[in-house]
Amino acid sequence: MNRFKRFLAVTGLIGMLAIGLSGTAVAGGGGGGCAGGSSATSSGSTQVFASQVSGLFADAGFSSVSGTTETDIDIFASKESFVQSSSGSRSTSQVLIVISVFDTVTGVPSVEAFGSAPTSNFQIDQALTSATLGSTSIPVCDFVTNTSSTATVAANWTGVGSKTQSVGTNLFHSGKFTTVNHFVGFGRSAQAIGSASDTALNVSFSGSAVFAGLFSLTEGFIDVCVGTTCK
């Protein structure tokens, strides 16, 4: 997966965490939403859903090896705004962490943890030249031991090189449901220094990232559903 595709996958996850998944988006229809998380404008037997997300993002991956134990940590921070056709707009700022610890010989993981939290400590400039994430506590869940704990993270990014642009349009049609989305994104490679620790998981890291990037994205969605259900 290239860096921008990976970025889109993670922003999709952030978007779901921020918006929430709704099964009642279809106006006047019970069961099965046409477009979870969107707002509907009803026009007779045809319903139109419109939404847009735009934001600034910073991503950094850290890795360390001690003996046969490798620790990989990914930190992803975002500032996003959401506009929905009937409910107006709102903004959010979040940070996400993924922690993976495994044996390099057997490949068996001892930690596979994930967490996210709102934060007011993330700043990034529109030109994608720099970003800062102040110390932030994140509740995480380790899926190996099924236990909860708290990770503390911080990071600084400095953009390097020139920005690249990605533009795309996608169309999906199935039965009575059609959706079109269009995105415009910019990305810049970056250098990053950060720290992450979770005492309960025995994880601690401070140093330079093995990869990092700064991104901006604007993506709009138009969904059309004929009838009260999209089956």
Q: By CB neighbour count within 10 A (0-12 exposed, 13-18 middle, 19+ buried), where does 213 fall?
A: buried
Residue 177 lies in a domain: yes
Give me the percent of the chain exceeding a pLDDT of 70.
79
Q: Quick check: 216 pLDDT over 50? A: yes
Select the more confidently predicted residue: 159 or 173: 159
Write down the pLDDT at residue 120: 95
Residue 231 lies in a domain: no
pTM of the prediction? 0.75
Write down the pLDDT at residue 17: 41
Cα 165 → chain centroid: 19
Q: How many domains does the chain have?
A: 1
Contacts of residue 5, Cβ cutoff 8 Å, sequence gap at least 6: none
Q: Quick check: 88 pLDDT over 80? A: no
Write down the pLDDT at residue 182: 93
Q: Quick check: 153 pLDDT over 90? A: yes
Give the pairing of strands 46-66 and 130-142.
unpaired
Q: By CB neighbour count within 10 A (0-12 exposed, 13-18 middle, 19+ buried), where does 180 fall?
A: middle
Give residue 129's pLDDT band: very low, low, confident or very high (50, 70, 90): very high
Q: Quick check: 81 pLDDT over 60? A: yes
Write down the pLDDT at residue 6: 47
The span from the CA of 209 to the CA of 217, in Å, is 23
Write down the pLDDT at residue 109: 97
Mean pLDDT of 205-226: 94
Select the more confidently predicted residue: 223 or 93: 93
Give me the percent of the chain exceeding a pLDDT of 90.
66
Residue 116 lies in a domain: yes
Write down the pLDDT at residue 228: 65
If you average pLDDT over every residue of the chain, what do you get?
Answer: 83
Residue 59 lies in a domain: yes
Contacts of residue 133, Cβ cutoff 8 Å, sequence gap at least 6: 58, 75, 77, 95, 119, 121, 122, 153, 154, 155, 156, 194
Residue 103 lies in a domain: yes
Write down the pLDDT at residue 87: 72
Residue range(s) defining the domain that contains residue 67: 3-226
Give residue 85's pLDDT band: very low, low, confident or very high (50, 70, 90): confident
Give residue 36's pLDDT band: very low, low, confident or very high (50, 70, 90): very low
Mean pLDDT of 11-35: 37
Q: Which three-class secondary structure string do you get for the chain?
A: CCHHHHHHHHHHHHHHHHHCCCCCCCCCCCCCCCCCCCEEEEECCEEEEEEEEEEEEEEEEEEEEECCEEEEEEEEEEEEEEEECCCEEEEEEEEEEEEEEEECCCCCEEEEEEEEEECCCEEECCCCCEEEEEEEEEEEEECCCCEEEEEEEEEEEEECCCCEEEEEEEEEEECCEEEEEEEEEEEEEEEEEEEEEECCCCEEEEEECCEEEEEEEEEEEEEEEECCCCC
